[in-house]
Amino acid sequence: QVQLVESGGGLVQAGDSLRLSCAASGRTFRSYSMGWFRQAPGKEREVVAAINYSGISTYYADSAKGRFTISRDNAKNTVYLQMNSLKPEDTAIYYCAATRVSGVVYAGEKYAYWGQGTQVTVSS
């Protein structure tokens, strides 16, 4: 098992940046593939970015490419989502997730462990 706690969300203006953090418990963090998902009011949950166990391989949704960067620091048991050039349409609750499935996993149903989420609100 792994426990996940997100932080770093907040209210920002369009064009600003935020860095989300996901702190994971346990000594097995290195074996998990990780992902960031988001859900806006009235919309389905969608993948934002994903990263494999070592951090060498990543995936980004089209909406995130060129603006967001996912990374991980296994020594700190933490995965990050750097979000630049934020837009109002980025407003959502952002969730961190973990799976033992190997590789870069971007399908939400493959993830067994989820954090509580952190709210990101972008105003124009």
9 contacts: CB under 8 Å, gap ≥ 6: 18, 20, 94, 118, 119, 120, 121
Kindly state the tokens that stand for 70: 């996912």
Q: What does the block give as tokens for 29?
A: 């963090």
Predicted confidence (pLDDT) at residue 114 exceeds the cutoff of 80: yes
pLDDT of residue 31: 86
User: Tell me: the pLDDT tens digits for 94-106?
Assistant: 999 999 999 999 9
Residue predicted with more confidence, 24 or 1? 24
For 17-59, write each residue's pLDDT tens digit: 999 999 999 778 888 999 999 999 999 999 999 999 999 999 9
